[in-house]
Structure 1
Amino acid sequence: MIVYEFKVKGKDKQYRAIDEAIRTSQFIQNKCLRYWMDNKNVGRYDLNKYCAVLAAEFPNASELNSMARQSAAERAWSAIARFYDNCKKKVKGKKGFPKFKKHCRSVEYKTTGFKLSTNRKAITFSDKKGIGTLKLKGTYDLNFYDIKQIKRVRLVRRADGYYAQFAIDVEIKVETQPTLQVVGIDLGLKYFIADSKGNVEPSPQFYRSSQKQLNRANRKKSKKFSPAKKKAKVRQSSNYHKARNRYARKHLRVSRQRKEYCKRVAYSVIQSNDLVAYEDLSVKNMVKNRHLAKSISDAGWSTFRSMVRIFWA
């Protein structure tokens, strides 16, 4: 399974329709979670059936594609299943009891509810949300794959716009020659990684290098915030939301830089060695140290380890 991502271009009316579809998906997910809490012995298929009940009861739910409703129910069930697994494994501390979502940023369609254009450069959503036809901007070419291979399409809202992700069912085999090399990796803060052969990869510290710009953008955002409007439950000014979006885009740029760097280093390590050993760090617990939390988060240990597992598979 591979995922291709495109930036989508449309009109403001279409973007508002995407936001409405995301809110509806969040609504269904939270309703399914409440249904599980209020009833005993509720399983995955019970939540899928409950989507039809929600569609009959709420007009906004009926406007969303049936497969998208089931996808929202599957998200709720994935959180429930993870909670069950943690309880069975007797994980120490909190078991991750499912929580209601407040800020969802995506809606997922499965095999229906969308149609690609002939040249695969545009996608049309056919449900009653009114999203319509969106142009796809990207370097990937979907013409290499059959429509039946596209198992899911996800619309994602980010600070710099809206994106469409295509999950394609395809097997990719990369033929490599054995290197007969074994390496042990140590993750650090002063350096990114140091291996058992004496090689050291420097830590770029993307957040530290952009911290002045981030703090300046955060101050500008705070100056436009009105506590009186929050107390009166009135929407903040347009200037505040613009400053908030600029601040979010800067954070998004830092996270993308970190992810690309971790991806490049992980791919290089996997290609150069037949066996890679690294320490099993509990990053979630380590960031509780208030003196080192910022440096640990900036290092991107979890991202690097996840990339190593992905490339190894």
Structure 2
Amino acid sequence: MDTPPFRAERKRTPAEQGNELGFAARTEAWTSQERVNYNQTSAMLTVWKKTEELAHLNEVSSVPLQQTLRHSQTAFTNFFAKWARYPHFKSRRKSRKSAEYTTSGFRFRDGKLTLAKMPEPLDIVWSRPLPEQAKPSTVTVSQDAAGRWFVSMLCDDPSVTPLGAKGNAVGIDVGLDHLLTLSTGEKVTNPRHERKDRVRLAKAMRNLAKKTRGSANRNKARLEVARIHARIADRRRDGLHKLTTRLVRENQTLVIEDLTVRTMVRNRTLSRAISDAAWSQFRSMLEYKAAWYGREVIAVDRWFPSSRLCSACGTVQDRIPLSVRTWTCGCGTTHDRDVNAAKNLLAAGRAVAACGAGVRPQRSTPGGQSAMKQEVSRREP
């Protein structure tokens, strides 16, 4: 049987259809050197609902449709202000389906959530209880690639308040052999979630590659691959949440290195391991939790030679290959590479906190050869 000349795409939601129509109208106006704002697209939506082809848009609440138009308005505003590129759609097959409801589009009473145009409340298994007397302002219903449905509710949490001040400060060096190395000497094991499911994932992807495009069996195989990816991502996120919460609760100041992960993953040898370590996600969690609880996160310049700088005497080594995990300085101090880097990051972060200056890479050894040359030149007649 020949492969059908089409590629299966998931069915569009009404919110996506409304957004596509509004986007098409804006793009057509842009090619004519005109601009269409939110009020105009909202009026167009009312007209589109009255047509026979788009009458099905009346079956859902108008709130998610209006929200997609508002998001589109924000995207075009950023484009016209030259803050972003021209808006574009995400992949239908890969993106997360979602619908956003504001207060007029849902009812939340006695722990039960009812969306507009729904006869009964949603059957929800809560991941955690909502704060007492919480009043959600926005509800987002979404479905991930694995077919799982989620409801996220935006509300104020009075329990999130700044913690008591602490005098502790810690330097954090990220890595692959160990996920984190702290300036205290503690090393956090890298769980390598993707590696644990690599065999299962490879088998599922081979099975997916054998299926005919557009067939029901291919869709089942795609869901199996998505479920494995979701399992990996869930375990990784859960571990990072627990780790970052502990670090923020135990320390007042946290010093990290400002790494360009987007550039580092171009290394084909290490890209898979770097992506699995999720350094960017770790930093994001650390920063927003520090903002919640009144902590401070300091990012040190990525060119700061934290691994080559002796934390005892300040001497900078010329070059230390990644394979060298322990080295001895000329002063006689033997360093663990990662612990030494974490100590140097902590010292640099304290300098930033004290002086308010940025941390720049040290180009020469204090009191070393360059300093001696400067001293000689000053003494020459």
Bin the TM-score by the shorter chain. 0.7 to 0.9
Q: Is the 8 A contact 2:131 2:157 kept in 1?
A: no
2:194 is the counterpart of 1:216: no
Match of 1:136 in 2: 124
Q: CA deviation at 1:214?
A: 0.6
Q: Distance in 1 between matches of 2:116 and 2:201?
A: 40
| Residue from 33, 49, 61 that aligns with 2:23 | 33
Q: After TM superposition, where is structure 1 displaced by more than 4 Å over at least 4 residues in a row?
A: 40-43, 81-85
Whichever residue aligns with residue 175 of structure 2, its letter is: G
- The aligned residue for residue 55 of structure 2 is 59
Q: What is the RMSD computed on CA atoms of the aligned residues? A: 2.7
SS in 2 for 1:136: coil
Q: Distance in 2 between matches of 1:264 and 1:126?
A: 36
Q: TM-score, normalised by structure 1?
A: 0.76
**Conserved 8 A contact 1:56-1:62:** no
Is the contact between residue 30 and residue 76 of structure 1 (CA under 8 Å) also seen in structure 2? no
Q: Does 1:194 align with 2:181?
A: yes
67, 76, 86: which is aligned to 1:71? 67
Shift of 1:304: 0.5
**Residues 1:153 and 2:132 are matched in the alignment:** no
Asked if structure 1 preserves the Cα contact closer than 8 Å seen for 2:114 and 2:122, the reply is yes
- The change in CA–CA distance for 1:138 and 1:183 in structure 2 (over 3 A counts) is same
Which secondary structure does the structure 2 equivalent of 1:150 belong to?
coil
Aligned residue in 2 for 1:12: none
Partner of residue 106, structure 1: 98
Map 1:265-284 to 2 at 5 A.
Answer: 265-284=243-262
The 3 A distance-change label for structure 1 pair 185 and 169 is same
* Match of residue 116 from structure 2: 126
- Tell me the alpha carbon deviations over residues 273-305 of structure 1, each in whole angstroms, 9 at most, x when there is no partner: 111121112222222222221111100111101
User: Structure 1 residue 115 and structure 2 residue 107: aligned?
Assistant: yes
Between structures 1 and 2, the one with greater strand share: 1
How far apart, CA to CA, are the structure 1 residues paired with 2:42 and 2:268? 43
Displacement of 1:142 after TM fit? Answer: 4.6
Q: Which runs of 5+ in 2 are unaligned?
A: 1-9, 49-53, 292-381
Q: Deviations 1:53-98 (Å, cap 9, x if unpaired)?
A: 123214244443232122112332444455567x45xxxxxx6442
SS at match of 2:140: strand
Q: TM-score, normalised by structure 2?
A: 0.64
Give the equivalent residue in structure 1 for 2:167.
180
Q: How far off is 1:132 after superposition?
A: 5.3
Tell me the equivalent position of 1:309. Answer: 287
> 1 CA distance for matches of 2:147 and 2:228?
10
Q: Tell me the distance in 2 between the aligned counterparts of 1:41 and 1:282.
A: 39
Q: For residue 241 of structure 1, what is the aligned residue in structure 2? A: 219
Aligned length: 270
1:260 to 215, 238, 257: 238
Q: What runs of 5+ residues in structure 1 fail to find an aligned partner?
A: 1-18, 89-94
Distance 2:79 2:154 in 1: 26
Of 267-276 and 282-291, more deviation after overlay is shown by 282-291
In structure 1, the residue matched to 2:365 is none
> Which of the pair has more CA radius of gyration?
2
What is the identity, as a one-letter code, of the residue corresponding to 2:125? K
Q: 8 Å contact 2:131–2:158 — kept in the other structure?
A: no
Instruction: Determine the C-alpha separation between the residues in 1 that align with 2:270 and 2:76.
Output: 32
- Between 1:75-84 and 1:47-56, the stretch displaced more is 75-84
Structure with greater helix share of residues: 1
Q: Structure with the greater relative contact order (CA < 8 A, sep ≥ 6): 1 or 2? A: 1
Cα deviation, 1:237-262, whole Å, max 9, x if unaligned, reads 2x322222122111101001111111
In structure 1, how many angstroms separate the alpha carbons of the residues matched to 2:34 and 2:257? 39
Do the aligned residues in 1 keep the contact of 2:15 with 2:64 (CA within 8 Å)?
A: yes
Partner of 2:99, secondary structure, is strand
Measured at CA, do residues 141 and 200 of structure 1 come closer, stay the same or move farther in structure 2, by a change above 3 Å? closer
Task: Tell me which amino acid in the other structure corresponds to 1:251.
Answer: H
Please tell me whether the aligned partners of residues 120 and 143 of structure 1 are also in contact (alpha carbons under 8 angstroms): no
Distance 1:214 1:192 in 2: 23
Which one-letter code corresponds to 1:201 in the other structure? V
Residues 59, 113 of structure 1: alpha-carbon distance in 2 compared, 3 angstrom cutoff: same
Partner AA of 1:135 in structure 2: D
Residue of structure 2 aligned with 1:164, choices 151, 155, 166: 151
Deviation at 1:115, TM superposition (A): 2.4
